[in-house]
Structures are given as C-alpha cells and as structure tokens.
Amino acid sequence: MILIMLMILVIKTATASVPGPEMDVKPGVETSLAKRTLSFCYQLKFGVTEIPSSISSNTTCLEVKQTEIVVIPQGALNNTIRQRIGVNEGLTTEFFNTCQIFHLCICVPLSFISGNVALKNIGAFAFSDLPELTEITITKSKHLTHINPDAFKDIVKLKYLTIANTGLRLFPDFTKIHSTGLLLDLHDNSHIERVPANAFKGLCTQTIPEIRLTRNGIKEVASDAFNGTKMHRLFLRGNKQLTHINPNAFVGSSELVVLDISQTALSSLPDYILGGLQKLIAESAPNLKELPPLELFTKLHQANLTYSSHCCAFHNIHRNRHWNSLCSHPDAQGNLHFYRDYCSNSTSIICTPTQDDFNPCEDIMSAVPLRVLIWIISILALLGNTVVLLVLLGSRTKLTVPRFLMCHLAFSDLCMGIYLVVIATVDMLTQGQYYNHAIDWQTGLGCSVAGFFTVFASELSVFTLTAITLERWHTITHALRLDRKLRLRHACIVMTAGWIFSAVAALLPTVGVSSYGKVSICLPMDVEFLGSQVYVVSLLLLNILAFFCVCGCYLSIYLTVRNPSSAPAHADTRVAQRMAVLIFTDFVCMAPISFFAISAALKLPLITVSDAKLLLVLFYPINSCSNPFLYAFFTRTFRRDFFLLAARFGLFKTRAQIYRTESSSCQQPAWTSPKSSHVMLYSLANALSLEGKPEF
Ligand SMILES: *[C@@H]1O[C@H](CO)[C@@H](O)[C@H](O)[C@H]1NC(C)=O
Ligand SMILES: *[C@@H]1O[C@H](CO)[C@@H](O)[C@H](O)[C@H]1NC(C)=O
Ligand SMILES: *[C@@H]1O[C@H](CO)[C@@H](O)[C@H](O)[C@H]1NC(C)=O
Ligand SMILES: *[C@@H]1O[C@H](CO)[C@@H](O)[C@H](O)[C@H]1NC(C)=O
Ligand SMILES: *[C@@H]1O[C@H](CO)[C@@H](O)[C@H](O)[C@H]1NC(C)=O
C-alpha cells in the first residue's frame, strides 16, 4: 500500500519580501504561502515515480507532492547536483543542494513504499549552508518526531519557515539560522508542549516581524523563552492547554506590539511586555478574568477581549500624550503609525466586545444614593424579619394558622434581606473596579446563591401573602361554619407546596432555564431562549395573578363585613384603610417591576438595566421591609407576644403585665353566641389583626 504524502517541503527563493512590522493580523498566512508558490511551480504529482530529466535549468520552483518517489537518485537533477554526503534518513541531501541552483524547490520527500524509510527524523545539516534558501515548509508529517539541532543552520536569506502538522515532541532548534528577516510559523504540532528558554535567540539578526505558534500543544512558555528576541507580533492563539507563561518569559525581548493569546487557558499576562503592546487579542480566553493593572498598558490602541466588562476598564483611561512638534508637518498625517502614536489626542482604546445592554460599564450600584439605600433597606428587612421570627417562634402561646403563615412570610422576607446584604457587600468590595470582578462574580457560585435566595424569597413571600389573605378571607366568610375551619394541618400542606414551588422556581435558572449570571444583581434576566422567556414571563404572570387574588379577597372581605348593621362605622373605615394599605404596598412592589420586566422579557425593553436597578432596589424589596410592620409590629397580638417575650428576659415588665391582664379579659370563646354579629367582627379583627389602633 502506498503511503501518501508524509510531508511537504517548501524551499524557495521568493522575491517577495517579508511583510513589514505593521500591526495587521493575517490569519490566512499559512495557506496563502502554499497557494502563492504553486502557481509557478514545476509540479511532480501523484503517480510520478522518479524525477524526470526534462526539468530545465531555468526552473525556479519544483514541487514534489504526493509522489511515489522513493529515492531521488543522484544525477536526477543532473546539472544541479553538488555532491555532498547526506546525514539524514528521509531526505536526500543532494536534493536540497539542488535548491541552490534551482532557486526554488518545493519538495516532498517522499512517499515511502514497503517499509523503506518513513520520515522520522530530519538530520543534521539537512538545511545547512543553503544561502539562497528563502522558504522552508514542512507539513503533514505525523511521523516526524525529531529535527536535529543542527538541521537549520546559517540560512541567512530564509524568509518563511513553516513547520506544521508534524509529530515533533520538542521545540525545534532555530538558534543557528541567523536569518535577516523571517516569518516563523509553527502550527498544529500537537506534541510540542513547551517553549524552552532562548528558543528564538539566534533565529534572526533583525527584528522578526511575526512569530506564529498557533494551535500547538504548548502548555508552558518557560522563563527567558524570548530572551534576545526582537519581534513585532506573537501569536499563541489556539494553544488550548496553555495555562502558564512564565512572568520572566519576555525578559530580554523587545519591540512586541501585537500579542494574540486567544483560545488559550491563560489566566494572567506577564507584566513585562504590556508597556509596549499596541494590540492585545484575547478572544475566547475565558480564564483571563482579571486584567493586569491598567496603567501598565501605556500604548494600547486596540483590544479584542473575551469579556465586555474588561472593555469598561479601558473606557475611562486617560493618558498624557505629548504633542510632537512634527505632527503639524503635512506628511505626519500620512504616516498613520506615527500619527497615531504621537499626534492623536484621542486616548480611546478600541475594545471589543463592547458592553451589552445587560452589563453597562458601571459598578453594581452605580449611584451613591442607591448604595446608601440598599444598605438601609437590607438592614431594615433583616432586622424587622429577624425580630418577627424570634417573637413568633419564642412565643409560648399555641401556634395558630395565621402565626404559622406569618413565620413563613417573615422567613421569606428575611431571605430577601440576605440577598440585598450580599449584593450590597459585593458592591462595596468591588467598588470602582467591578469590571475586573464581574466575571468571577457573575459566573461564580456567589451570584447563583444570591439569585436563588432572591427568587426563592420573592416567590415564597408572594405565595405566603396570598395564603394569608386567602386564610383571612376563608376565616371571615366561613366564620360561622366551624366544620370548615382551617387547621394547621391544611396550612402545612399549603406551605409545603409553596416551598416546593419557590425552590423549583429558584433552582431553574441554575440548571439552564434563564440564568442568574446575566446581570450584576443576579436576577434571572436572561431571556435569550424561548424556555427562559416562558420561565420569566410565567413567574411574573403568577405574581400578578397573586396580586389580583389578594385584591379580590380583600374586596370580598370588605363586602362581607360591611353588611352587618351593628358594626360601628369607624371600624368599617378602619378595615378599609388597613386593606388599602396592604394592597397598596403590594401593588407598589409589584406593578413597576412586573410592567418593565414583562416588557423586557418580551424583548421590548423600556428602560435600561441601570434604571432597572433603581426599581429593583427601591420597589422590589418594599414588601420585605414593610411586611414585618404591616403584618406584625402594627398588630396588637404581635406587640403582646413581643412584650411577653421581652418580659421573660426582664424587659418591659409593666407593659407585659398590661397585655397579660387585657388578653385574659377578652379570652371569650368565639362560639359562645354564634348568631351575634360581634363574633363576625371578632374573627375579622383577629384575622386582620385589627385589635388596637393601627399605628400608621
Ligand atoms: C526556461 O527555458 C525554456 C527553454 O529552455 C523556455 O522555453 C521556458 O520558457 C523558460 N522558462 C522560464 C520560466 O523562464
Ligand atoms: C549528467 O550530466 C553528465 C555531464 O555533466 C552526463 O555525463 C550524464 O550522463 C548526465 N546524467 C543524466 C542522468 O542525465
Ligand atoms: C539571555 O541572553 C543573554 C545574551 O543575549 C545571555 O547572556 C543570558 O544568559 C540569557 N539568559 C538566559 C537565562 O539564558
Ligand atoms: C478585533 O476587533 C475589531 C473591532 O474592534 C475587529 O475589526 C477585528 O477584526 C478584531 N480582530 C480580531 C483578530 O478578531
Ligand atoms: C492635540 O492637542 C494639542 C495641544 O495639546 C493641540 O495643539 C492639537 O491641535 C490637538 N490635536 C488634535 C488633532 O486635536
């Protein structure tokens, strides 16, 4: 069986000069080289078994590709052969010597048949002393594992050196080439794992315009790797396992202006080179989460990065550039590089990706009032709900259904307080440089946990509020039907359902339906896919539904208690007032958020995320702050429990005594006179916690 094409070797004396040091990136350079040369080459192709004698001496290019030539016999290129003892196995040395006269040879050694020599090795002096050689391409040679350190030696006119798709294990030795200007392209060699010290030292006597080390298996760049190397552009793109560039790797190197570390696993950049860098390409480099200190980038013009938040860092960078007197010269404007470096007063850095709508260039809480407010609100929610929980749980009286529900309400509002404190704390810690922490925060565990807390809290809170209202409505409308009385058992079932629902709703974004990482405040604002959209919209609709349910219940309660003629009129208005407040706070909390959130979820955003944060800080937690007051502190039962509890710790003893005597005097069973409308009022008062004056 014929093995096809182990290797293409391009050796040529191209008239084309090596491209200058301009910044442009030429991603297609490795393929274009081959294409460019093929057009004027004498080609030996598949099926050819020996070098024909008809090649004229004025041929400047010879391509030997996918042939079955086993050996290139001496004399095949008769007029050109200079005898010389070959040292290498796979390549016939004399063949390369012909290149001196042929000016340009593209040679494929050789599809070896029947177990002759497969190309495993390029021996010493294979490319030595070929002063006319300008281009060497060694590709597609999976079995080539070793290149002798002396293989490349004194090839002073070498302009292109390409080594690709080989099985090389060690970084080839380029230190004896001593070229005068070279493009080095070493790509797709998946076994090269390390760039050693002084790897490019003798490669070139001048500045190397470009070193491409793309898509290899490089894992590490050693200390002093670029010692003694002057280079303009360095591409490390596509070395997916590259995690570490030694901080001293670039010591002794100079003139680097373009660095490409896209698609690598690097997490930091060596500070040494940043000062001269004009262009930094780090796309799809997800591990580069933190940028080096910005003041190190003194010359940067363009940055193509992975994360938009990093571009925010360059937003407000100010540089002192000195106006060069030459700038007024008409020619200066023609010379773009000079003009850009010395004359342009614009200090802006072109940076991609630009920030998206969800991640504006700002801290989590951009405005100072917001920052203060979130602390006040979060502490209020934490304190209020903690007190409520303590009093409810510490009280010795029997656990009733309303109290049971109140516990859940306080707990969910406490969770909201925790969320707010977390956000406020992260904001404080990252103040002024959120761009460098955005990725860690938004993609990290912290944001998911905070997001879980807030969705869980708000859903459980809405659910419990609805349950409390329904319970009141039920108690009042069925006040006279003891058989329909709600028991703790029922409440337990309802609240278990509530917990499960809230937990599921809060967990969904952590498993890919929407996501908490989209915005800095960790709310599920990701509506990119239909599933996420459905999730967000249905959450909001459920909340709106709950709101209408609450409204309906209060309306029904109001109509029920308005009827009894014996009910005093002022009690009536008080009930109405109280309900109005409850509904109003609920509405204020719900309406703006729901309105804007639904419009955003339907991808018709009416306000920016920055404005939405204001809404979210001011309105979203309103319920969590006000619930302790509306449902606990302002009610007489709660105050009684509070003072009784405090009395156990030796506080407010006299107040507690008053409550104790009062409560014993009105301990009349509700069923003593079932016909009386007072019973109705009593249960209403209980249900609405209306005993005593509301204090608002
Ligand atoms: C090489 O020489 C032959 C005649 O010997 C001529 O026909 C041919 O055009 C020449 N080719 C080039 C590229 O100069
Ligand atoms: C090579 O050239 C020499 C003279 O320079 C000649 O004697 C010999 O026959 C040629 N060989 C072939 C294979 O053309
Ligand atoms: C770096 O190169 C200089 C000469 O250019 C040499 O003296 C020095 O030893 C090299 N450093 C290392 C660590 O090899
Ligand atoms: C870098 O970003 C610019 C836009 O600012 C774009 O035009 C250019 O193609 C990008 N370069 C690379 C190598 O992705
Ligand atoms: C830049 O600033 C200098 C003074 O600092 C001013 O003389 C010059 O006109 C400005 N150039 C441009 C292009 O704005």
Instruction: Report whether pLDDT(78) > 80.
Output: no
Q: Is the CB of 58 under 6 A from ligand 1?
A: yes
Task: Output the CA 300–ligand 5 centroid distance in Å.
Answer: 20
Residue with the smallest CA separation from ligand 4 atom 12 is 304
pLDDT at 20: 39
Give me the pLDDT at residue 332, please. 64
Binding site membership of 328 for ligand 5 (Cβ less than 6 Å): no
Residue 443 has pLDDT above 70, yes or no: yes
Q: Which of 323, 324, 327, 329 to mutate to test the pocket of ligand 5 (most atoms within 8 A of CB)?
A: 323
Mean pLDDT of 500-512: 93
pLDDT given at position 319: 52
pLDDT surpassing 70 at residue 76: no
Task: Measure 51 CA to ligand 2 centroid, in angstroms.
Answer: 14
Question: 305: CA distance to ligand 4 center in Å?
Answer: 9
Q: Which of 32-41, 320-329, 495-504, 617-626 has the lowest mean pLDDT?
A: 32-41
Instruction: Reply yes or no on whether the pLDDT at 87 is more than 80.
Output: no
Q: Look at 92-96, 231-235, 454-458 and tell me which has the smallest mean pLDDT.
A: 92-96
- Which contacts (CB < 8 Å, 24+ apart) does range 606-610 have? 608/357, 608/360, 609/357, 609/358, 609/359, 609/360, 609/519, 609/525, 610/360, 610/362, 610/366
Q: What is the largest CA-CA distance in the chain?
A: 129
Whether residue 355 is predicted with pLDDT greater than 90 in this model: the reply is no
Read off the pLDDT band of 338 (50, 70, 90): low
Of all ligands present, the nearest one to the C-alpha of 314 is: 4
pLDDT exceeds cutoff 90 at 233 = yes
Q: In this structure, which ligand is nearest to the CA of 42?
A: 1
Query: Which residue's CA is the closest to the ligand 5 atom numbered 2?
Result: 345
Extract long-range pairs of 406-410: CB within 8 Å, 24+ residues apart. 406/468, 406/631, 406/632, 408/460, 408/464, 408/467, 408/495, 408/498, 409/461, 409/464, 409/465, 409/468, 409/627, 409/631, 410/385, 410/627, 410/628, 410/632
Tell me how long the chain is. Answer: 696
Q: Which two tokens stand for residue 27?
A: 């991603």
User: Whose CA is closest to atom 5 on ligand 1?
Assistant: 56
The reported pLDDT for the residue numbered 91 is 39
Would you say the CB of residue 54 lies under 6 angstroms from ligand 1? Answer: no
Interior angle at CA 176, CA 156 and CA 168, nearest 5: 110
pLDDT at 476: 79
Tell me the pLDDT tens digit for each residue of 189-206.
999 999 999 999 988 888
The model's pLDDT over 419-432, given as tens digits with 9 standing for 90+, comes to 999 999 999 999 88
More confident residue, 233 or 573: 233
As given in the structure block, the two tokens for residue 25 are 């990136």
For the ranges 267-271, 309-313, 353-357, 475-479, the maximum mean pLDDT occurs at 267-271
- pLDDT for 638 equals 81
> Within 6 Å (CB) of ligand 4, which residues are found?
25, 281, 283, 304, 350, 352
In this prediction, residue 323 has a pLDDT band, given cuts at 50, 70 and 90, of low
Structure-model confidence comparison of residues 424 and 565, the more confident one = 424
Here the tokens at position 246 are 């030694």
pLDDT surpasses 90 at 2: no
Residue 77 in this model has a pLDDT that exceeds 50: no
* DSSP designation for 159: -
- What is the predicted pLDDT for the residue at 523? 86
How confident is the model at residue 191, as a pLDDT?
93
Ligand 5 site, residue 345, Cβ cutoff 6 A: yes
* Closest ligand 1 atom to 40 CA: 13
Which residue has better confidence, 281 or 556? 281
Band (563; pLDDT cuts 50, 70, 90): low
Contacts 24+ apart (CB under 8 A), 647-651: 648/394
C-alpha 59 to ligand 1 mean position (Å): 7
* Token code pair at residue 95: 């063949």
Residue nearest to atom 5 of ligand 3 (CA): 228
Domains, the chain: 1-17+34-168 (3.80.10), 190-355 (3.80.10.10), 370-634+666-691 (1.20.1070.10)
Task: Tell me the ligand closest to 306's alpha carbon.
Answer: 4
Quick: pLDDT tens for 586-607: 778 777 778 888 887 887 777 8
Measuring from atom 11 of ligand 5, which residue has the nearest CA?
Answer: 345
Residue 80's pLDDT is 35
Shortest-distance Cα residue to atom 2 of ligand 1:
58
Expressed in angstroms and rounded, the spacing between residue 227 Cα and the centre of ligand 3 is 6
Name the residue of 224, 246, 250, 254 whose CB sits within 8 Å of the most ligand 3 atoms, as the mutation to test its pocket: 224
Confidence band for 111, pLDDT divided at 50, 70 and 90: very low
Distance 171 CA to ligand 3 centre (A): 18
Atom number of ligand 4 nearest to Cα 260: 13
pLDDT score for 283: 93
Span of 294-298, 345-349, 467-471, 675-679 with lowest mean pLDDT? 675-679
For residues 580 and 78, the model is more confident at 580
CA–CA dist 423, 382 (Å, integer): 14
Residue 200's pLDDT is what? 92
Q: In terms of pLDDT, which residue wins out, 200 or 41? A: 200
Q: For residues 154 and 177, is the Cβ–Cβ distance under 8 A? A: yes
- Atom 10 (ligand 4): residue with closest C-alpha? 304
Distance CA 448, CA 441 (A): 9
CB 61 within 8 A of CB 38: no
What integer pLDDT is reported at residue 656 of this predicted model? 79
> Ligand 2 centroid to 58 CA: how many Å?
17
Ligand number nearest CA of 75 is 2
| Tens digits of residue pLDDT in 394-415 | 887 788 888 898 899 899 999 9
Q: How many Å apart are CA 293 and CA 610, to the nearest integer?
A: 26
The confidence score (pLDDT) of residue 126 equals 54
Task: Please check whether residue 532 is in contact with residue 514, taking contact to mean a CB–CB distance below 8 angstroms.
Answer: yes
CA distances from 526 to 146, 200, 542, 599, 600 (A): 52, 48, 18, 13, 10
Q: Whose CA is nearest to atom 13 of ligand 3?
A: 224
The response to whether residue 39 sits with its C-beta less than 6 Å from ligand 1 reads no
- DSSP state at residue 162: E
pLDDT band at 500 (very low <50, low <70, confident <90, very high): very high
**Ligand having the closest approach to the CA of 61:** 1
Tell me the one-letter amino acid at 667: Q
| pLDDT band (50, 70, 90) for residue 117 | very low
At 637-659, the pLDDT tens digits run 788 888 888 888 877 778 778 87
Q: What is residue 400's predicted lDDT score, i.e. its pLDDT? A: 83
- Asked whether 53 lines ligand 2 (CB < 6 A), one says yes
What does the pLDDT read at residue 337?
67
Q: How confident is the model at residue 65 (pLDDT cuts 50, 70, 90)?
A: low
Q: Give the mutation target among 78, 80, 82 for probing the ligand 2 site: most ligand atoms within 8 A of CB.
A: 78
CA angle 497/498/503 to nearest 5° reads 100
Minimal-distance CA residue to ligand 5 atom 6: 323
Q: Take residue 555 and report the two structure tokens written for it.
A: 């309306």
Q: 78: Cβ below 6 Å to ligand 2?
A: yes
Average pLDDT over residues 354-360: 82
Q: Among residues of the chain, what percentage have pLDDT more than 90?
A: 24
Looking at residues 436-461, what average pLDDT do you find? 91
What's the whole-number mean pLDDT along residues 94-113? 34
- How far apart are alpha carbons 642 and 421 in whole angstroms? 26
Cα 55 to ligand 2 centre (Å): 13
User: Which of the two residues, 446 and 164, has the higher pLDDT score?
Assistant: 446
Q: Which atom of ligand 4 is nearest to the CA of 351?
A: 5
Angle between helices 401-429 and 488-507 (to 10 degrees): 20
Statement: residue 161 has pLDDT above 80: yes
Share of the chain above pLDDT 70, in %: 68
List the residue whose alpha carbon is closest to atom 10 of ligand 1.
58
Q: What is the arithmetic mean of pLDDT over 599-621?
A: 81
CB distance 56 to ligand 1 below 6 Å: yes
In this predicted structure, what is the pLDDT of residue 445?
93
Nearest CA residue ID for atom 5, ligand 2: 79
Ligand 3 pocket, Cβ-based, cut-off 6 angstroms: 197-198, 224, 227-228, 252
pLDDT tens, position by position, 474-483: 887 776 676 7
Q: How far is the CA of 250 from the centre of ligand 3 (A)?
A: 12
Between the CA of 304 and the centroid of ligand 4 the distance, in Å, is 6
State mean pLDDT over 445-468.
91
Mutate to test the pocket of ligand 5, among 333, 345, 346, 347 (most ligand atoms within 8 A of CB): 345
Over 90: is that where the pLDDT of 502 sits? yes
Average pLDDT on 56-67 reads 50
Adjacent-strand bridge partners of 135: 12, 160
Atom 3, ligand 2: residue with shortest CA distance: 78
Query: What's residue 104's pLDDT?
Result: 31
The chain-wide mean pLDDT, for the chain, equals 74
293 pLDDT band, cuts 50/70/90, is: confident
643: nearest Cα among 629, 628, 626, 663: 663
